[in-house]
A and B are shown apart, each in its own frame.
Chain A
Amino acid sequence: MNKGVLVIARNNNNIDYVKQAVYLAKKVKKHLDLPTSIITDNIEYLNKSFDPEVFDHIISVGYESKTNTRSFYDGGLASKTDNFKNSSRSSVYDLTPYDETLLLDSDFVVNNNLFLNCFDSDQDLLLYKDSYDLSNNRNTKEFEFISDSGCDFYWATCVFFRKTETNKMFFDLIKHIQEEWNHYRRLYQIQSQLFRNDFAFSIAIHILNGFNKGNFAGQMPGKLTYITDQDILWNTKDETMTFLVAKKDYLGEYHAIAVKDMNVHVMNKFSLSRIIDQEMAVEQ
């Protein structure tokens, strides 16, 4: 069975997801020694600005004109509102070139080989349910349940799946939830109108578990470590990452924290972009 990593990169006016995907592919090669394929609507930009050879397959998707805006923060004091093109995730089952796929967000930084264990797992679908906020002072309830009265929260940030009939049914169900989002968000009492893959994946797992907790999806190795976009990725050196995490109730003030050899979901895409620019400048 062939295996690899899949990443979706669809740029908006402010965030260069393609650049993040290139960075991710290099990290994946270094730590997992796996090929990475990209799904993008910016192939021309990718070929012009980066080395497309870092990708195993380049999969084209059509330009998305549907508006799904949200705020993207860069620490506590700066933000920009832009289009959030997140509708392709439900199609990854059909688009992936691999029998065994590790789907990662482009803003996920791989610093160890923990994910290799997914490919040895006897479960065909793995997601993170448990997570670790590098800040020690936030209420993390929004990452435990999808709403006050809703089901368990699962992260769509890292998903391992094999091509099986059951997983096809899972991704088809996510497509249905996406198409009928207004119905499902009301059913699960989600206040925000914004479509979020985390919610759609969580709802699909809840349904396939018989509208209950269950083992339809297994757990990815360890916990998903993250910073939010209120925090800042400050510096990287080899596999050590230094962050400024927001102080509670002191907007724009931060504590420093450094982690080594840990995979981290860096939700502050602007600070990740600055670090990638620095590292790419050193490479050249």
Chain B
Amino acid sequence: MDERLQKALDFSNYMVTFNNQKRALAEKYNQDLLYYHLGAQFTVTKELINFCYTLVSTDNTEVVLVDDNGSPVQITDLENFHANILDVYFTASNEYYNEFVNLKKKRSVSKLVEIDE
């Protein structure tokens, strides 16, 4: 096989594996962004964080939020709820970032999936 084609195919294989790993990290991140409160599931988004921050900043202590299943939930301690979702966001995002930086350093298929050569 032409060496140029061989190199391209090797790189192509690397990119497929890299993209699969990246996609798996993104799925894990989405899973880590879930926050459970009073039996309801919330996906922590920047919008949710900012909305809660706005309410807390304007001296609101309670709010009704709609959870991932479309059900309304009464949040009675809004400040605590905001602190918790912020913690979930930072923990998940930092882990995602660290894993992603680590992934980018790996320059071979075997290293991407950490198989001993």
Size of interface on B: residues with Cβ below 8 Å to A: 28
Size of interface on A: residues with Cβ below 8 Å to B: 29
Per-residue CB contact flags for chain A residues 194-225 toward chain B (1 = under 8 Å, else 0) read 00000000000000000000010011011101
Assess the A257–B21 pair: CB atoms within 8 A: yes
- Chain B residues, CB < 8 A from A120: 36, 39
Assess the B30–A257 pair: CB atoms within 8 A: no
A132 to B23, CA, bound (A): 10
- Chain A residues, CB < 8 A from B17: 255-257
B50 interface contact, C-beta 8 A: no
Nearest A residue to B24 by beta-carbon distance?
A259
A134 to B110, CA, bound (A): 17
A259 to B26, CA, bound (A): 11
Assess the A261–B28 pair: CB atoms within 8 A: yes
Assess the A256–B115 pair: CB atoms within 8 A: yes
Give chain B nearest CB distance to A77 CB in angstroms.
20
B55 interface contact, C-beta 8 A: no
8 Å CB contacts to A: which residues of B74-117?
Answer: 109-110, 112-115
Assess the B23–A221 pair: CB atoms within 8 A: no
- Chain B residues, CB < 8 A from A135: 20
Query: What residues make up the interface of A, taking CB atoms closer than 8 Å to B?
Result: 114, 117, 120-123, 132, 134-136, 215, 218-219, 221-223, 225, 235, 240, 242, 245, 255-262
